[in-house]
A and B are shown apart, each in its own frame.
Chain A
Amino acid sequence: MTTAWLVASAILFAALVPCFVACVRGDSASRLVALEMGSVVQCLFLITLSEAFHRVVYFDLAVALALLSFGGGLTFARFLERRL
């Protein structure tokens, strides 16, 4: 069953490439959207990777990333509004 998690991890890792391309080009708002998309993909990637290697403790990384990307996204949005 580990193979399924590894395959999902590989596909999710490949999904980071379009996010990176969108982060590199485009205006500031589009870059922020790509960054948020990348954080969602990374959360799922960490879950699948830790399940593939049977390391339950690494699920905490996904929890921490989900919580921190929430605050980071809101902060970047405020910067984008030019109110900070």
Chain B
Amino acid sequence: MHLVHEIVVWASLVASATLVFLCAVGVMVMRDAYQRLHFIAPPATLGALLVVVACVVDEPRPAAWLKAIVVMIVLGAMNAVVTHATARAAFVREWGAWPPPERAPIRRMKREDT
């Protein structure tokens, strides 16, 4: 039983850390902010879930893994809101307004920081 626990902990932690690292590399190499936003979701959901699984299996004290579960819930709920807000902010900064006017052609604003 101890061996099974150890295998679960190792597999969960290595999978989570590898996933997070690959997504961080994805954030670095992608072209623009909209593409980069996609790479925040896997660490905030699946990565956190795998860390919590390892924590629940390995940690006998409920105070520890309960806090880890709280972090997972906060990260999962936060990710959707912040991702939407960031994409909207990037759109407004680039195009001027949200929602875009239906009839008038969208006038692209001057980008200052590219």
List A residues at the B interface (Cβ < 8 Å). 1, 4-5, 7-8, 11-12, 14-19, 21-22, 26-30, 32-34, 36-37, 40-41, 43-44, 47-48, 50-51, 56, 59-60, 62-63, 66-67, 69-70, 73-74, 77-78, 80-82
CA distance A32 to B14 in the complex (A): 27
| Nearest B residue to A11, CB-CB | B17
Once the chains bind, are A66 and B24 in contact (CB under 8 Å)? Answer: no
Contacts of A27 in B (CB 8 A): 32-33, 111, 113-114
In the complex, how many angstroms separate the beta carbon of B65 from the nearest chain A beta carbon?
9
CA distance A67 to B54 in the complex (A): 22
List B residues at the A interface (Cβ < 8 Å). 5-6, 9-10, 13-14, 16-18, 20-21, 23-25, 27-28, 32-33, 36-37, 39-40, 43-44, 47-48, 51, 54-55, 58-59, 61, 63-64, 67-68, 70-71, 74-75, 78-79, 81-83, 85-86, 88-90, 92-94, 111, 113-114
Once the chains bind, are B28 and A47 in contact (CB under 8 Å)? Answer: no
Once the chains bind, are A62 and B71 in contact (CB under 8 Å)? Answer: yes
How many CB-defined contacts (below 8 Å) exist between A and B? 177
Contact of B74 among A11, A12, A37, A63 (CB under 8 A): A63
CA distance A26 to B32 in the complex (A): 8
Dominant SS at the A interface? helix
Contacts of B39 in A (CB 8 A): 37
Contact of A43 among B16, B75, B94 (CB under 8 A): B75
A-B contact pairs, 26 of them (CB 8 A): A1-B6, A8-B54, A12-B17, A19-B28, A27-B33, A28-B93, A29-B93, A32-B90, A33-B36, A37-B23, A37-B27, A37-B36, A40-B47, A41-B20, A48-B13, A59-B63, A62-B68, A63-B67, A73-B85, A74-B81, A77-B82, A77-B86, A80-B86, A80-B90, A80-B92, A80-B93
